[in-house]
Amino acid sequence: MYRSPRGFSQFTPVIVRKESGKYQVLDEFKRYYAAERLGWESLHAMILEVSITQGKAMILNYNKANQSMLDYDEALILYSLKKDHLMDQQSISRLTGYSRSWVCRRLALIEKLDTGVQHELRMGMISNSQARSIVRLPRGNQQAVTRAIITHHVTSRDSSILAEKYLQSTTNSEQQYVLDHPLEVIEQSTHKQEIYDTRLGQHGNRLLKSIELLLSQQNIFTGHLTHYHTDHLRDNEKSIISGKLERLKKSITTILSIINNQ
């Protein structure tokens, strides 16, 4: 809004509630801050006579339509209702209009997620779906798995597999293997799952399987190539790898040509 070449005009009012002689913004935060930077002295506003708990619930509802809030942002509001206003999950569900399970899942991002992992989520180092996978783990193990996900560029879908494999590990050595070789663990798990779609015929399922295997290998390749160890390869190692990468480039060009012609 602030940088718009056509200028900035207010078409919709800022939604506020009055509290102790001041106004608390419930919606149109971006519009408010843009006007502030432009030096405006006033804004058209709609003043609502609602309680503080109703106001917090309205922030959720106003921002849900355009999905401008992250799951973690929503969790902070729900946690405030629980901690600051002593509301239980059922009361929060009734106030916000969301199901109790929805409230429970969001609260888990605050109550069950390690503070270090919460920081990575706020900084955008992991996604909301990755955080939901990590929250299934004991707090003491969450940071280690999070580091493995970030370091090896594990996708959101594969993060769920990795968390499950970590939970299934029964010894410290098995858990450490999962952390040290996450991409291999994911690949092994994926290959054990039958790749089959009842909507496809025999050839269609063969094609589907080859695509899934390529995608799996792509994730592993990306993780290894972007790993910091790649920058510390010896000269003779770099020479060998470079030759293989040139062959890979040609293969990628061929694959893209075939896909584009379909």
pLDDT value of position 185: 87
pLDDT at position 92 is 95
Inform me whether the pLDDT recorded for 223 exceeds 90: no
DSSP string spanning 109-161?
A: HHHTS-HHHHHHHHTTSS-HHHHHHHTTS-HHHHHHHHHHHHHTT--HHHHHH
pLDDT band for position 38 (cuts 50, 70, 90): confident
Tell me what percent of the residues of the chain surpass a pLDDT of 90: 46
| pLDDT tens readout for residues 84-103 | 999 999 999 999 999 999 99
Is pTM, for the whole model, over 0.85? Answer: no
Residue 136: what pLDDT?
93
pLDDT score recorded for residue 221: 82
Q: In this model, does residue 21 exceed pLDDT 60? A: yes
Average pLDDT over residues 144-171: 92
Residue 14 φ/ψ, nearest 5 degrees: -75, 135
Find the mean pLDDT for residues 158-178: 92
Neighbours of 61 (CB within 10 A): 13
Burial 46-55 (b: 16+ CB within 10 A, else e): eeeeeeebeb
Higher pLDDT, 7 or 217: 217
Contact at 8 Å (CB) between 12 and 36? Answer: no
| Average pLDDT score over residue span 139-150 | 95
Q: Is residue 235 predicted with pLDDT exceeding 70?
A: yes
pLDDT of 77 strictly over 60 = yes
Ordered structural domains, the chain, with CATH: 1-49 (3.90.1530.30)
Tell me how far apart the alpha carbons of residues 144 and 65 are, in angstroms, rounded to a whole number. Answer: 35
CB atoms within 10 A of CB 200: 12
Cα separation, 197 vs 238, whole angstroms: 41
Per-residue confidence band for 157, with pLDDT thresholds at 50, 70 and 90 = confident
Measured CA angle at 41 (ends 36, 42), to 5 deg: 95
pLDDT at residue 66 in the model: 66
Contacts of 27 (CB under 8 A, 6+ apart): 14, 15, 58, 59, 62, 63
Which pLDDT belongs to residue 67?
65
Q: What is the pLDDT of residue 10?
A: 61
**For residues 158-182, average pLDDT:** 92
C-alpha 160/C-alpha 184 separation (Å) is 15
Query: Is pLDDT at 224 greater than 80 in this prediction?
Result: no
Nearest to 23 by CA among 60, 48, 53, 56: 48
Asked if 87 and 53 count as a contact pair (C-beta separation under 8 A), the reply is: yes
Q: How far is CA 152 from CA 148, 159, 221, 222, 242, in A?
A: 6, 11, 10, 8, 21
Tens digit of each residue's pLDDT (9 = 90 or more) over 175-212: 999 999 998 888 777 665 667 788 888 898 888 888 88
Q: What is the DSSP letter of 27?
A: E
